[in-house]
């Protein structure tokens, strides 16, 4: 009987102590975050956009705390007034999402981000000169509007800057930075508001946005999107053997090569297959323009 009982197993009993798997999983997460951070540090075209949206979240966090502080202490409004702030910001985000596609059809993504920082900065500086209930709601609307104009292009820029095999790790670092910025803003706003007041706080955030506005376009202009490696120095008749994308050099196979006229420019183009199965189309202006990633096919 005892032998029979010993042979009976139950799913309610753990097969192994849970401590080791949990520890292994945490170590794996830390390793992947560290790898994503290293990859990000070597990829300015991803680091710049992530730094931009992190700064935006930091500023937004301080403005949100300030708005709640103003409605509660200056205007003696109750908790119900907070819904007005959230509603104004939400309407701004919705309008931003509905209009950002039209902006992307007209301007490069980094230009949209720069102009969103400029517009947000101007509005905040203007509101700092006359803080009322309506001006705070106006600021909340424009903070939400410009957030959408930054977030959508930034996500695309980061995705385009990093090969598919590294995107998960890089976006994990992105998410951590994005969320920690709001937390840090809340901690800073608590001593900042009593020290310098609402007007100066809003003005400083606005000036910070204005000063940062030209940074991302200049950074991306200096950072090549991709680079191609050729066997013998890239003579006209040669084809690439590798692509440097997101700080990673990967071997490629040329599927197609052609010359085309595009927007009044003569461009040399390749369709390249990477070892992980990704296919990309790249081109450059002839004879010696920088290589550009036109699209990722699959």
Q: What is the pLDDT of residue 156?
A: 93
CA dist., res. 288 & res. 118, Å (int):
34
* Whether pLDDT at 1 is above 50: no
What is the average pLDDT across 258-274? 89
Tens digit of each residue's pLDDT (9 = 90 or more) over 168-208: 888 999 999 999 999 999 899 888 888 888 889 999 999 99
Instruction: Judge if the upstream peptide bond of residue 287 is cis by omega within 30 degrees of 0.
Output: yes
The neighbouring-strand residues paired with 265 are 262
If one compares 222 and 184, the residue with the highest pLDDT of the two is 184
CA distance 275 to 22: 33
Average the pLDDT over each of 26-40, 98-112, 257-271 and give the range with the smallest value.
26-40
Please give the Cα distance from 295 to 298 (Å, whole number).
Answer: 9
Task: Give 45-72 pLDDT, tens digit per residue.
Answer: 899 999 999 999 999 999 888 888 777 7
DSSP 8-state assignment for residue 225: S
Alpha-carbon Rg for the chain in angstroms = 25
Reported as type and span, the H/E element at residue 249 is strand 248-262
Which residues lie below 8 Å from residue 267, measured CB to CB, with a gap of 6+?
A: 259, 260, 261, 283, 284, 285, 286, 289
What CA dihedral angle connects 121, 124, 126 and 129, to 10 degrees?
A: -140
Domains in the chain with CATH codes: 28-222 (1.20.1250.20), 226-296 (no CATH)
On the question of pLDDT at 213 being above 80, the answer is: yes
pLDDT at 4: 47
| Assigned token pair, 115 | 């102009």
Question: 109-128 and 133-161 helices cross at what angle (nearest 10)?
Answer: 160
**Measured between alpha carbons, how far is residue 76 from residues 11, 79, 130, 280 in Å?**
58, 10, 18, 58
**And the tokens for 184?**
């840090």
pLDDT for the residue numbered 26: 81
pLDDT bracket for residue 75 (50, 70, 90): low
For the ranges 8-17, 227-236, 282-291, which has the lowest average pLDDT? 8-17
Distance CA 109, CA 101 (A): 10
Instruction: Report CA-CA distances (Å) from 238 to 209, 210, 230, 232, 257.
Output: 46, 46, 7, 8, 10
Kindly state the percentage of the chain with pLDDT values over 70.
87
Q: What is the pLDDT of residues 135-170, one digit of tens each?
A: 888 999 999 999 999 999 999 999 888 887 788 888
- Determine the pLDDT at residue 73: 67
The overall average pLDDT reported for the chain is 85
Rounded to whole angstroms, what are the CA distances from 42 to 38, 223, 292?
7, 11, 18
pLDDT bin (cut points 50, 70, 90) of residue 236 is low
């Amino acid at each position: 009987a005892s032998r029979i009982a010993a042979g009976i197993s139950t799913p309610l009993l753990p097969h192994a102590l849970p401590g080791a798997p949990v520890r292994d999983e945490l170590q794996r997460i830390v390793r992947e975050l560290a790898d994503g951070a290293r990859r990000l540090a070597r990829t300015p075209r991803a680091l710049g956009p992530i730094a931009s949206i992190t700064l935006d979240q930091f500023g937004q966090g301080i403005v949100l705390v300030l708005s709640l502080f103003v409605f509660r202490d200056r205007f003696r409004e109750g908790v119900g007034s907070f819904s007005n702030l959230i509603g104004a910001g939400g309407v701004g985000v919705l309008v931003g999402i509905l209009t950002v596609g039209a902006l992307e059809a007209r301007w490069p993504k980094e230009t949209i981000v720069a102009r969103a920082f400029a517009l947000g900065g101007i509005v905040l500086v203007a509101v700092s000169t006359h803080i009322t209930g309506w001006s705070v709601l106006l600021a909340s609307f424009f903070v939400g509007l410009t957030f959408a104009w930054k977030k959508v292009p930034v996500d695309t820029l980061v995705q385009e800057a990093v090969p598919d095999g590294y995107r998960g790790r890089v976006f994990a670092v992105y998410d951590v930075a994005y969320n920690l910025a709001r937390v840090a803003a809340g901690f800073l706003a608590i001593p900042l508001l009593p020290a310098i007041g609402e007007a100066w706080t809003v003005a400083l955030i606005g000036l910070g946005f204005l000063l940062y506005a030209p940074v991302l376009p200049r950074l991306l202009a200096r950072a090549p999107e991709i680079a191609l490696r050729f066997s013998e120095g890239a003579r006209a008749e040669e084809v690439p053997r590798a692509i440097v994308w997101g700080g990673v050099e990967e071997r490629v196979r040329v599927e197609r090569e052609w010359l085309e006229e595009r927007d009044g420019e003569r461009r040399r183009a390749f369709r390249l297959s990477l070892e992980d199965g990704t296919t990309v189309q790249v081109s450059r202006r002839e004879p010696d323009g920088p290589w550009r990633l036109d699209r990722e096919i699959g």
